[in-house]
Amino acid sequence: MSTAFEPVRIGRHTARNRVVMAPMTRNRAYGPGGSPTELMATYYAQRADAGLIVTEGTQPSPIGQGYLNTPGLHAPEQIAAWKVVTDAVHARGGLIFAQLMHTGRIGHPSLNQLSATPVGASAVRADGSVRTATGPADFVTPEPLDDKGIQRTVEDFADAARNAVEAGFDGVELHGANGYLLHQFLATGSNRRDDEWGGGPEGRIRFPVAVVEAVAAAIGADRVGLRISPSNPYNDISEDDHRETYTALLAAIDPLGLAYLHVAEGPDVDFTPQLRQRWSGTLILNPFTPGAYTGPDALRHVESGASDLVSFGALFLANPDLPERLRAGAGLNAPDYSKAYGGDHTGYTDYPTLN
Protein backbone atom coordinates (compact mmCIF):
# COMPACT_ATOMS: atom_id res chain seq x y z
CA MET A 1 0.00 0.00 0.00
CA SER A 2 1.20 3.51 -0.81
CA THR A 3 0.53 6.45 1.43
CA ALA A 4 0.07 10.03 0.34
CA PHE A 5 3.39 10.94 1.92
CA GLU A 6 5.62 8.85 -0.31
CA PRO A 7 7.28 10.15 -3.48
CA VAL A 8 5.86 9.35 -6.88
CA ARG A 9 6.96 9.93 -10.46
CA ILE A 10 5.31 12.66 -12.49
CA GLY A 11 6.76 12.37 -15.98
CA ARG A 12 10.41 13.32 -15.80
CA HIS A 13 10.03 14.61 -12.23
CA THR A 14 9.62 13.07 -8.79
CA ALA A 15 6.99 14.56 -6.51
CA ARG A 16 7.90 14.38 -2.84
CA ASN A 17 4.36 13.51 -1.80
CA ARG A 18 1.01 12.77 -3.40
CA VAL A 19 -0.85 15.82 -2.19
CA VAL A 20 -1.45 18.08 -5.18
CA MET A 21 -2.54 21.71 -5.13
CA ALA A 22 -5.44 21.81 -7.61
CA PRO A 23 -5.56 24.67 -10.12
CA MET A 24 -7.42 27.69 -8.75
CA THR A 25 -8.20 30.94 -10.52
CA ARG A 26 -7.56 33.82 -8.10
CA ASN A 27 -7.84 36.87 -10.42
CA ARG A 28 -4.90 38.76 -8.96
CA ALA A 29 -2.62 39.07 -12.01
CA TYR A 30 -2.40 42.84 -11.66
CA GLY A 31 1.03 43.07 -13.30
CA PRO A 32 1.54 44.72 -16.72
CA GLY A 33 -0.59 43.12 -19.46
CA GLY A 34 -1.87 40.27 -17.29
CA SER A 35 1.41 39.41 -15.61
CA PRO A 36 1.74 37.70 -12.25
CA THR A 37 2.86 39.77 -9.27
CA GLU A 38 5.31 39.35 -6.37
CA LEU A 39 2.31 38.60 -4.17
CA MET A 40 1.46 35.64 -6.39
CA ALA A 41 5.05 34.40 -6.00
CA THR A 42 4.60 34.56 -2.24
CA TYR A 43 1.27 32.68 -2.45
CA TYR A 44 2.67 29.83 -4.52
CA ALA A 45 5.95 29.62 -2.55
CA GLN A 46 3.92 29.28 0.66
CA ARG A 47 2.33 26.15 -0.87
CA ALA A 48 5.57 24.62 -2.24
CA ASP A 49 5.33 21.63 0.13
CA ALA A 50 2.72 20.20 -2.24
CA GLY A 51 3.87 17.20 -4.22
CA LEU A 52 2.85 19.28 -7.22
CA ILE A 53 1.40 22.77 -7.59
CA VAL A 54 -0.87 23.29 -10.58
CA THR A 55 -1.29 27.03 -11.11
CA GLU A 56 -4.49 28.90 -11.70
CA GLY A 57 -5.85 28.75 -15.24
CA THR A 58 -3.54 30.80 -17.48
CA GLN A 59 -4.52 31.96 -20.97
CA PRO A 60 -2.30 30.72 -23.81
CA SER A 61 -3.42 33.63 -26.01
CA PRO A 62 -5.28 36.93 -25.58
CA ILE A 63 -8.54 35.47 -26.93
CA GLY A 64 -8.22 32.60 -24.44
CA GLN A 65 -8.94 34.96 -21.52
CA GLY A 66 -12.46 34.78 -20.12
CA TYR A 67 -12.11 36.27 -16.66
CA LEU A 68 -10.84 39.47 -15.05
CA ASN A 69 -7.17 39.66 -14.11
CA THR A 70 -6.19 36.12 -14.97
CA PRO A 71 -2.55 35.69 -15.96
CA GLY A 72 -1.27 34.89 -19.43
CA LEU A 73 1.69 33.03 -20.89
CA HIS A 74 1.81 34.62 -24.34
CA ALA A 75 3.88 37.80 -23.85
CA PRO A 76 7.49 38.49 -22.78
CA GLU A 77 6.52 40.44 -19.64
CA GLN A 78 4.34 37.53 -18.51
CA ILE A 79 7.19 35.05 -18.96
CA ALA A 80 9.56 37.26 -16.96
CA ALA A 81 7.04 37.68 -14.17
CA TRP A 82 6.22 33.95 -13.99
CA LYS A 83 9.98 33.30 -13.64
CA VAL A 84 9.82 35.07 -10.28
CA VAL A 85 7.02 32.70 -9.25
CA THR A 86 8.74 29.49 -10.38
CA ASP A 87 12.05 30.59 -8.79
CA ALA A 88 10.29 31.17 -5.47
CA VAL A 89 8.65 27.72 -5.59
CA HIS A 90 11.88 25.99 -6.63
CA ALA A 91 13.81 27.75 -3.85
CA ARG A 92 11.56 25.82 -1.46
CA GLY A 93 12.06 22.55 -3.34
CA GLY A 94 8.62 22.54 -4.97
CA LEU A 95 7.34 21.34 -8.33
CA ILE A 96 5.05 23.62 -10.37
CA PHE A 97 3.06 23.13 -13.59
CA ALA A 98 1.21 25.97 -15.34
CA GLN A 99 -2.41 25.24 -16.16
CA LEU A 100 -3.10 26.42 -19.72
CA MET A 101 -6.75 27.43 -19.83
CA HIS A 102 -8.44 28.71 -22.96
CA THR A 103 -11.92 29.63 -21.78
CA GLY A 104 -13.55 29.50 -25.24
CA ARG A 105 -17.20 30.57 -25.05
CA ILE A 106 -16.97 31.19 -21.31
CA GLY A 107 -16.03 34.86 -21.38
CA HIS A 108 -17.08 38.20 -22.75
CA PRO A 109 -15.65 40.67 -25.30
CA SER A 110 -14.82 43.10 -22.48
CA LEU A 111 -12.63 40.51 -20.74
CA ASN A 112 -9.96 39.91 -23.39
CA GLN A 113 -7.28 42.33 -24.57
CA LEU A 114 -8.67 42.26 -28.14
CA SER A 115 -12.24 43.14 -27.12
CA ALA A 116 -13.14 40.27 -29.43
CA THR A 117 -16.09 37.91 -29.41
CA PRO A 118 -15.05 34.71 -27.62
CA VAL A 119 -14.50 31.66 -29.82
CA GLY A 120 -15.95 28.19 -29.47
CA ALA A 121 -16.59 24.90 -31.21
CA SER A 122 -20.02 26.00 -32.44
CA ALA A 123 -22.25 29.06 -32.22
CA VAL A 124 -23.94 27.80 -29.06
CA ARG A 125 -24.21 30.27 -26.20
CA ALA A 126 -23.60 28.99 -22.68
CA ASP A 127 -26.45 29.76 -20.34
CA GLY A 128 -25.17 31.99 -17.57
CA SER A 129 -23.16 35.10 -16.88
CA VAL A 130 -19.65 36.21 -16.03
CA ARG A 131 -18.29 38.99 -13.83
CA THR A 132 -16.92 41.90 -15.89
CA ALA A 133 -15.35 45.22 -14.80
CA THR A 134 -18.83 46.79 -14.84
CA GLY A 135 -20.82 43.95 -13.28
CA PRO A 136 -22.25 40.62 -14.39
CA ALA A 137 -22.82 40.12 -18.13
CA ASP A 138 -24.51 37.28 -19.96
CA PHE A 139 -22.27 34.95 -21.93
CA VAL A 140 -22.36 35.72 -25.66
CA THR A 141 -22.71 33.44 -28.66
CA PRO A 142 -19.16 32.43 -29.56
CA GLU A 143 -17.56 32.68 -32.98
CA PRO A 144 -17.02 29.09 -34.16
CA LEU A 145 -13.36 28.38 -34.95
CA ASP A 146 -12.72 27.61 -38.62
CA ASP A 147 -9.91 25.30 -39.77
CA LYS A 148 -7.36 28.10 -39.72
CA GLY A 149 -8.52 29.25 -36.31
CA ILE A 150 -8.24 25.73 -34.96
CA GLN A 151 -4.71 25.42 -36.31
CA ARG A 152 -3.74 28.79 -34.81
CA THR A 153 -5.20 27.81 -31.44
CA VAL A 154 -3.23 24.56 -31.45
CA GLU A 155 -0.07 26.59 -32.17
CA ASP A 156 -0.96 29.08 -29.42
CA PHE A 157 -1.05 26.22 -26.92
CA ALA A 158 2.32 24.92 -28.13
CA ASP A 159 3.86 28.41 -27.98
CA ALA A 160 2.48 28.97 -24.48
CA ALA A 161 3.95 25.64 -23.36
CA ARG A 162 7.37 26.70 -24.67
CA ASN A 163 6.91 30.00 -22.84
CA ALA A 164 6.08 28.07 -19.67
CA VAL A 165 9.34 26.15 -19.89
CA GLU A 166 11.21 29.41 -20.53
CA ALA A 167 9.51 30.81 -17.42
CA GLY A 168 10.91 27.94 -15.37
CA PHE A 169 7.81 25.77 -15.08
CA ASP A 170 8.38 22.04 -14.63
CA GLY A 171 5.56 21.35 -17.09
CA VAL A 172 2.06 22.35 -18.14
CA GLU A 173 -1.41 21.02 -17.46
CA LEU A 174 -3.85 21.39 -20.36
CA HIS A 175 -7.29 22.36 -19.11
CA GLY A 176 -9.67 19.95 -20.77
CA ALA A 177 -12.22 20.15 -17.94
CA ASN A 178 -14.96 22.33 -16.48
CA GLY A 179 -16.56 23.57 -19.68
CA TYR A 180 -13.69 25.52 -21.25
CA LEU A 181 -12.57 25.34 -24.88
CA LEU A 182 -11.21 21.79 -24.99
CA HIS A 183 -14.26 20.53 -23.11
CA GLN A 184 -16.54 22.51 -25.45
CA PHE A 185 -15.16 20.46 -28.33
CA LEU A 186 -15.58 17.17 -26.43
CA ALA A 187 -19.19 17.75 -25.38
CA THR A 188 -22.21 17.13 -27.60
CA GLY A 189 -24.10 20.16 -26.26
CA SER A 190 -21.47 22.72 -27.29
CA ASN A 191 -19.97 20.93 -30.33
CA ARG A 192 -22.59 20.74 -33.09
CA ARG A 193 -20.07 20.69 -35.93
CA ASP A 194 -20.60 18.46 -38.93
CA ASP A 195 -17.00 18.68 -40.15
CA GLU A 196 -14.08 16.52 -39.05
CA TRP A 197 -13.86 18.39 -35.69
CA GLY A 198 -17.32 17.29 -34.60
CA GLY A 199 -19.91 14.55 -34.97
CA GLY A 200 -19.17 11.32 -33.12
CA PRO A 201 -16.60 10.83 -30.35
CA GLU A 202 -13.74 10.43 -32.85
CA GLY A 203 -14.51 13.86 -34.34
CA ARG A 204 -15.08 15.64 -31.02
CA ILE A 205 -11.82 14.39 -29.47
CA ARG A 206 -9.83 15.54 -32.51
CA PHE A 207 -9.11 19.11 -31.40
CA PRO A 208 -8.13 18.22 -27.79
CA VAL A 209 -5.91 15.42 -29.15
CA ALA A 210 -4.29 17.86 -31.61
CA VAL A 211 -3.55 20.25 -28.73
CA VAL A 212 -2.10 17.48 -26.56
CA GLU A 213 0.08 16.21 -29.42
CA ALA A 214 1.36 19.67 -30.36
CA VAL A 215 2.21 20.56 -26.77
CA ALA A 216 3.88 17.19 -26.19
CA ALA A 217 5.95 17.72 -29.35
CA ALA A 218 6.90 21.22 -28.19
CA ILE A 219 8.14 20.47 -24.66
CA GLY A 220 8.13 16.67 -24.28
CA ALA A 221 5.17 14.48 -23.33
CA ASP A 222 6.73 13.84 -19.92
CA ARG A 223 6.15 17.49 -19.04
CA VAL A 224 2.48 17.57 -20.07
CA GLY A 225 -0.59 16.73 -18.02
CA LEU A 226 -4.24 16.82 -19.09
CA ARG A 227 -7.22 17.64 -16.88
CA ILE A 228 -10.64 16.23 -17.76
CA SER A 229 -14.03 16.22 -16.04
CA PRO A 230 -16.28 13.61 -17.66
CA SER A 231 -19.99 14.04 -16.81
CA ASN A 232 -19.41 17.38 -15.06
CA PRO A 233 -22.09 19.85 -16.25
CA TYR A 234 -20.27 22.95 -14.97
CA ASN A 235 -20.42 25.95 -17.36
CA ASP A 236 -23.53 24.62 -19.08
CA ILE A 237 -21.88 21.51 -20.47
CA SER A 238 -24.03 18.61 -21.61
CA GLU A 239 -22.54 15.30 -22.68
CA ASP A 240 -24.77 12.65 -24.28
CA ASP A 241 -22.02 10.04 -24.55
CA HIS A 242 -19.26 10.93 -22.10
CA ARG A 243 -18.20 7.32 -21.53
CA GLU A 244 -17.63 6.70 -25.25
CA THR A 245 -15.99 10.10 -25.73
CA TYR A 246 -13.47 9.84 -22.90
CA THR A 247 -12.75 6.20 -23.70
CA ALA A 248 -11.83 7.31 -27.24
CA LEU A 249 -9.81 10.24 -25.88
CA LEU A 250 -7.75 8.05 -23.58
CA ALA A 251 -7.18 5.48 -26.32
CA ALA A 252 -5.75 8.27 -28.48
CA ILE A 253 -3.48 9.90 -25.91
CA ASP A 254 -2.43 7.08 -23.57
CA PRO A 255 0.34 5.95 -25.98
CA LEU A 256 1.92 9.43 -25.89
CA GLY A 257 3.35 8.91 -22.40
CA LEU A 258 2.09 12.11 -20.76
CA ALA A 259 3.23 13.14 -17.28
CA TYR A 260 -0.26 12.57 -15.88
CA LEU A 261 -4.00 12.56 -16.30
CA HIS A 262 -5.88 14.74 -13.80
CA VAL A 263 -9.48 13.64 -13.31
CA ALA A 264 -11.83 16.25 -11.85
CA GLU A 265 -14.43 13.64 -11.06
CA GLY A 266 -18.04 14.28 -12.07
CA PRO A 267 -21.30 12.72 -10.90
CA ASP A 268 -20.60 9.49 -12.83
CA VAL A 269 -18.17 8.23 -10.18
CA ASP A 270 -18.53 4.65 -11.41
CA PHE A 271 -16.67 5.67 -14.56
CA THR A 272 -13.51 6.65 -12.66
CA PRO A 273 -12.20 3.08 -12.18
CA GLN A 274 -12.59 2.59 -15.93
CA LEU A 275 -10.49 5.67 -16.58
CA ARG A 276 -7.89 4.33 -14.18
CA GLN A 277 -7.86 1.04 -16.04
CA ARG A 278 -7.52 2.69 -19.43
CA TRP A 279 -4.69 5.01 -18.37
CA SER A 280 -1.25 3.43 -18.10
CA GLY A 281 0.40 6.55 -16.66
CA THR A 282 0.18 8.57 -13.46
CA LEU A 283 -3.32 9.54 -12.33
CA ILE A 284 -4.31 12.50 -10.15
CA LEU A 285 -7.83 12.41 -8.73
CA ASN A 286 -9.89 15.37 -7.58
CA PRO A 287 -12.80 13.42 -6.10
CA PHE A 288 -16.48 14.26 -6.57
CA THR A 289 -17.68 15.64 -3.24
CA PRO A 290 -21.07 17.28 -3.88
CA GLY A 291 -21.93 20.07 -1.48
CA ALA A 292 -18.55 19.97 0.25
CA TYR A 293 -14.92 20.41 -0.55
CA THR A 294 -12.40 17.60 -0.71
CA GLY A 295 -11.43 16.63 2.83
CA PRO A 296 -8.62 14.64 4.46
CA ASP A 297 -10.53 11.36 3.88
CA ALA A 298 -9.68 11.71 0.16
CA LEU A 299 -6.22 10.33 0.94
CA ARG A 300 -7.90 6.92 1.01
CA HIS A 301 -7.92 7.01 -2.81
CA VAL A 302 -4.13 6.85 -2.78
CA GLU A 303 -4.06 4.16 -0.11
CA SER A 304 -6.53 1.98 -2.05
CA GLY A 305 -4.63 2.45 -5.29
CA ALA A 306 -7.64 4.10 -6.96
CA SER A 307 -5.32 7.00 -7.78
CA ASP A 308 -1.60 7.84 -7.56
CA LEU A 309 -2.14 11.35 -6.22
CA VAL A 310 -5.07 13.39 -4.89
CA SER A 311 -5.61 17.10 -5.52
CA PHE A 312 -7.11 19.59 -3.09
CA GLY A 313 -8.50 22.97 -4.07
CA ALA A 314 -10.30 24.70 -1.20
CA LEU A 315 -8.14 23.15 1.50
CA PHE A 316 -4.93 24.22 -0.22
CA LEU A 317 -6.30 27.71 -0.70
CA ALA A 318 -6.75 27.97 3.07
CA ASN A 319 -3.84 25.83 4.30
CA PRO A 320 -0.42 26.67 2.86
CA ASP A 321 1.11 23.76 4.79
CA LEU A 322 -1.64 21.28 3.87
CA PRO A 323 0.59 18.18 3.44
CA GLU A 324 2.07 18.68 6.91
CA ARG A 325 -1.35 19.21 8.46
CA LEU A 326 -2.73 16.09 6.78
CA ARG A 327 0.24 14.02 7.88
CA ALA A 328 -0.12 15.25 11.47
CA GLY A 329 -3.91 14.97 11.50
CA ALA A 330 -3.90 18.63 12.56
CA GLY A 331 -6.76 21.13 12.42
CA LEU A 332 -7.50 22.88 9.16
CA ASN A 333 -8.28 26.51 8.29
CA ALA A 334 -11.58 27.00 6.46
CA PRO A 335 -11.51 28.83 3.12
CA ASP A 336 -13.02 32.31 2.87
CA TYR A 337 -14.68 32.17 -0.55
CA SER A 338 -15.52 35.88 -0.42
CA LYS A 339 -11.80 36.50 -1.02
CA ALA A 340 -11.36 33.82 -3.68
CA TYR A 341 -11.58 35.87 -6.85
CA GLY A 342 -9.55 39.08 -6.86
CA GLY A 343 -8.48 41.38 -4.06
CA ASP A 344 -5.34 41.92 -2.04
CA HIS A 345 -3.26 39.70 0.25
CA THR A 346 -6.17 39.08 2.62
CA GLY A 347 -7.68 35.66 2.16
CA TYR A 348 -4.70 34.94 -0.09
CA THR A 349 -1.29 34.97 1.59
CA ASP A 350 -2.41 35.49 5.20
CA TYR A 351 -3.71 32.01 6.07
CA PRO A 352 -1.72 30.76 9.07
CA THR A 353 0.56 27.74 9.09
CA LEU A 354 0.85 25.41 12.07
CA ASN A 355 4.06 27.12 13.18
| φ, ψ (nearest 5 deg) of residue 229 | -145, 70
Question: Are 152 and 177 in contact, with CB atoms under 8 Å apart?
Answer: no
For residues 334 and 354, which CB has a smaller minimum distance to ligand FMN in the complex? 334
Compute the C-alpha angle 263/85/257, nearest 5°. Answer: 35
For residues 193 and 283, which CB has a smaller minimum distance to ligand FMN in the complex? 283
Which residue's Cβ lies closest to ligand FMN? 313
Residues 6+ apart with CB under 8 A from 144: 119, 120, 121, 122, 123, 193
Compute the C-alpha angle 222/224/209, nearest 5°. Answer: 115
Residues 6+ apart with CB under 8 A from 117: 109, 140, 141, 142, 143
For residues 178 and 349, which CB has a smaller minimum distance to ligand FMN in the complex? 178
| C-alpha torsion 24→30→31→32, nearest 10 | 120
Residue 57 DSSP one-character state: E
- Shortest distance, CB of residue 202 to ligand FMN, whole angstroms? 25
- Shortest distance, CB of residue 101 to ligand FMN, whole angstroms? 6
- Shortest distance, CB of residue 43 to ligand FMN, whole angstroms? 12
Query: Rounded distance, CA 217 to CA 219, Å?
Result: 6
Compute the C-alpha angle 68/188/71, nearest 5°. Answer: 20
Annotated active-site residue 246? The verdict is no
Cα-to-chain-centroid distance, residue 56 = 7
Q: Which positions touch ligand FMN (CB under 6 A)?
A: 22-25, 56-57, 99, 101, 175, 177-178, 227, 264, 286, 289, 293-294, 312-315, 340
- Shortest distance, CB of residue 241 to ligand FMN, whole angstroms? 23
Q: Which of 180, 246, 348, 351 is catalytic?
A: 180
For residues 279 and 293, which CB has a smaller minimum distance to ligand FMN in the complex? 293
From the list 124, 126, 120, 125, the residue with the least C-alpha distance to 146 is 120
- Shortest distance, CB of residue 148 to ligand FMN, whole angstroms? 28
For residues 17 and 294, which CB has a smaller minimum distance to ligand FMN in the complex? 294
Alpha helices, H only, the chain: 38-46, 76-91, 147-166, 181-186, 201-204, 206-219, 242-253, 272-278, 300-303, 314-318, 322-328
Phi and psi based region of residue 143 (left: phi greater than 0; alpha: psi -120 to 50; beta: remaining): beta
- Shortest distance, CB of residue 75 to ligand FMN, whole angstroms? 19
- Report, as residue numbers or ranges, the catalytic residues: 180
